[in-house]
Amino acid sequence: MTESDYIPGTCNIGPGEIRKRQFTAVVGAVLSLLAILSYSHTHISHMARTGIFIPLMVFSVGFIQSRRKFCLAFGLMGTFNFGRSRDIARVSSPEDRASDRKTALSILGQSALLALVLTGVVVALPL
């Protein structure tokens, strides 16, 4: 882990952490697909389908974090990691921490919006 890899508000995780976010996205996608399959076999009501928002949010957060190379939680905590899981370092500059918080909140909003749109699609599907 080197501080030279860290770019405030832009990049706070390295390849290992990115792979974890990709795995999270895959888990969220699989859970979402399993839910959709179960909806088609049980003919669940359109309103009850809104529960798919949770696995879609898991997918969205993992997907957006991995694409942006930025961890939402690390951004809120003022940390970064480019090494092993336990090698988390603190961001020293208050300006950099503020930039990271702004990016983290942006990722949270983008994730919620993506999950909401996908939830709307699932609710509207004629299953």
Which stretch of DSSP H or E encloses residue 89? Answer: strand 89-90
Q: How confident is the model at residue 71 (pLDDT cuts 50, 70, 90)?
A: very high
- Bridge partners, 7 (sequence order): 11
Give CA separation, 121 vs 66, 116, 127, in Å. Answer: 23, 9, 11
- 3-state SS assignment for residue 74: helix
Instruction: Name the residue among 101, 106, 14, 121 with its Cα closest to residue 61.
Output: 106
How confident is the model over 72-95, as a mean pLDDT?
Answer: 94
Interval 108-127: pLDDT, tens? 999 999 999 999 999 999 88
pLDDT over 70 at 4, yes or no = no
